[in-house]
Structure 1
Amino acid sequence: MPKSTLAILGYGISFQNAEEAQTLAYEHADMQTSLLPPRLRRRTSVATKMAFSAAERACKAAHIEPSSLPVIFTSALGEAAITDQLCRDIAKQNFPLSPTKFHNSVHNTASGYWSIAVGSQHPAMAMAAYQDSFPLALLEAWSQLHTVEKHVLLVCYEEKPSDRLLPDNTWLACATAFVLSVRDINHHGLSMGVPYLHALQGSTVGDKQASPAFASLPLYDALVANKKGDIPLSQGLDEAWFVGLVSSDA
């Protein structure tokens, strides 16, 4: 495996709505997770539950303990539903605001609960770059793995925002997760190069109106199908992010 590539050891996916997942041909993609204790499950959002479910599936597929991994959680809007509820409470002057809701509205809610639930003492990062949230998080993972880390768990998630926050949106709530490594010489699956930005020269990639988390689906689909080649990582009109998938034995 070339030193500049990353081994993809495991991956997982989760949808809020199982019927939507089946319509898109994704099986075993519900929000079930054994890593979220009941006391935390009761107070967490759809976004966090999906992120946990996808992350747990990726760790199981990679045969690696969740507590052993530094993590990168990326989402364009994060805790959109809770933020919307807080904004409505403020507008209606429903004071005092719920401390629990405020606590759960921050962008690192999912990554923080993950560290607590799995007992991890490794670094946990929360990122956002709207439609480029996934490719930039993947670039961050690539950078960490070529400098300081041996393995990284990358989780991309997005719940459906209300029309008050994003009018007329058609987003579907989903999450994907990938366990990445740069030093696994025994890996025989697909590996990926560094994400790169490419001019489209009049063509388009994806749907700019889709959920930013959907940018991760082509990579997930390619891994399931064992498909090599250049995989789009973002939706764009003039330019878009891509990553190359190659055989680890190459």
Structure 2
Amino acid sequence: MSTLVARIEGIGFWLDGLPSWADAVTHAATGTLGAEGGKPVARLLAPNERRRAPPSVAVALDVAQAACDAAGRAPADLPSVFTSTHGDLGITDYMCATLVSDPRALSPTRFHNSVHNAAAGYWTIGAGCLHPATALTAYRASFAQGLLEALSQLACGDPAVLLVAYDTSDVGPLGQVSRSEGLLGAALVLSTDNGDAPGTRLRATLTDGTAPASRGALAQRGAGNAMAPMLPLFDALATGGDLVVLDAGAGRVLRVELAHG
């Protein structure tokens, strides 16, 4: 596979105790935590929609807007890729339990939020964005495949793309099959690399291999979440690392080289 390249214009991040990318960078360097016990906020949504949004949507929109703000890009101007291992496990558990116990009691709002592209839909509506939005999953390779999709869109001519990754806690019997702890989200605004603008350059190549375990501070902090396979990249971005190997599924890895400008 050919190498795909991009420039990272903006980063968004949310994890309990690390509610912003600045907090994540500080934690990676010193181990210090920010405010614990808070909740991500989908500021882009109207108050009524914000109250109805589940945690998966809230964290996805929180980090997406933070990345756009950091990049100085209007959310309405960007095509987007949303990737999540499970979507919202709490809503999935509710749906399964209600269908078994009392199908007529199923909440239309929670049914509406159960689809895998719910966060992408909320984002495009809240942002007034008419550009394409992609929602995908690939189990533990979800982040790597989402990054590949975003980079491919750049290679096909889009000047910039928003990549958003997130997962929630498991609930009920689903936790016995697919473990996930806490709430985690991160986003990148990626653009074509013209070689002149400041920022971190990213070069990604898909190859055979197995992703190594990560000992980075962010990877350890968010290890229990289903989206943890993305955290080695954010540890490298926070600490100035220059190489990350991400699980891309089925005996493949995404080799990501970073050049910090």
Q: TM-score normalized by structure 2? A: 0.82
Q: Is the 8 A contact 1:8 1:190 kept in 2?
A: yes
Counterpart residue type for residue 86 of structure 1: M
Give the corresponding residue for 1:141: 150
Give the corresponding residue for 2:189: 179
**What is the aligned length?**
241
Give the corresponding residue for 1:82: 91
Q: Secondary structure at the match of 2:166?
A: strand
Q: CA, structure 1 residues 199+161, in 2 after alignment: closer, same or farther (shift >3 Å)?
A: same
Q: Is the 8 A contact 1:14 1:30 kept in 2?
A: no
**Structure 2: 5+ residue stretches without partners:** none
Q: Structure 1 segments of 4 or more deviating over 4 A?
A: 19-30, 235-239
Structure 1 residue 236: Cα displacement: 8.2
* CA distance in 2: counterparts of 1:18 and 1:140, whole angstroms: 30
Q: Is the 8 A contact 1:36 1:117 kept in 2?
A: yes
Q: CA, structure 1 residues 14+131, in 2 after alignment: closer, same or farther (shift >3 Å)?
A: same
Tell me whether 50-59 or 90-99 shows the greater mean CA deviation: 90-99
**Structure (1 or 2) with the greater helix fraction:** 2
* CA distance in 1: counterparts of 2:56 and 2:69, whole angstroms: 20
Q: Secondary structure at the match of 1:193?
A: strand
- The sequence identity of aligned pairs, in percent, is 33
Q: Is the 8 A contact 1:150 1:183 kept in 2?
A: no
- Deviation digits for residues 33-60 of structure 1 (CA, Å, limit 9, x no counterpart): 4212211111111011001111111111
2:243 corresponds to 1:226: no
- Deviation digits for residues 156-210 of structure 1 (CA, Å, limit 9, x no counterpart): 000011141121835231000000001444422211112423424xx84249x84
Counterpart residue type for residue 245 of structure 1: L
2:87 corresponds to 1:73: no
Q: CA, structure 1 residues 25+32, in 2 after alignment: closer, same or farther (shift >3 Å)?
A: farther
**Structure 1: 5+ residue stretches without partners:** none
* CA distance in 2: counterparts of 1:142 and 1:90, whole angstroms: 39
Q: Secondary structure at the match of 1:166?
A: helix
* CA distance in 2: counterparts of 1:30 and 1:234, whole angstroms: 29
Give the corresponding residue for 1:59: 68
* CA distance in 1: counterparts of 2:230 and 2:163, whole angstroms: 11
Q: Is the 8 A contact 1:67 1:119 kept in 2?
A: yes
Give the corresponding residue for 1:189: 199
* CA distance in 1: counterparts of 2:89 and 2:244, whole angstroms: 28
Q: TM-score normalized by structure 1? A: 0.85
- Deviation digits for residues 108-156 of structure 1 (CA, Å, limit 9, x no counterpart): 0000000000110000000000100000010111111001311000000
5 Å-filtered alignment, 1:77-116, equals 77-116=86-125
